[in-house]
Amino acid sequence: MRTFPSLAASALLALIAGTAQATVLASAPIEGYPSDQTLSCNIVNLNIMPRTVTIELLDYLGNVLVGDTFGLPPNHGQALASTSGSAARCRFTVDGSARSYRAVAVYDKGGKYTTAIPAQ
């Protein structure tokens, strides 16, 4: 049978090439998102290789207010903030497994942190 060798070759090629998959991490929204606070979305890459990370700040309805994509070296972090008063939560789109990142939404009022919500 010729099917098995070609199937095995296809599987081996897929293993060698690897498949990049995007994973989404999101924080829960803060209730009432106070307009006098700043929302900062923070993430750290715990991979041993550089990764691409997209950070987005969303309003309560899920509309993207601010977003950017970054190349993130191993063991480095990146943050994106909004002072608009409309941002309610954070969404992080990352390469690979969520276990290789730590992400959090942090609210602060005048430089004093008031709330931190982990992204899952």
Does pLDDT of 12 surpass 80?
Answer: no
| Domain 20-118 in CATH 3.40.1000 | no
Q: What is the pLDDT of residues 67-98, one digit of tens each?
A: 999 999 999 999 999 877 788 899 999 999 99
3-class secondary structure per residue, 42-101: EEEECCCCCEEEEEEEECCCCCEEEEEEEEECCCCEEEEEECCCCCCEEEEEEECCHHHE
pTM of the model: 0.79
Residues 18-39 have a mean pLDDT of 77
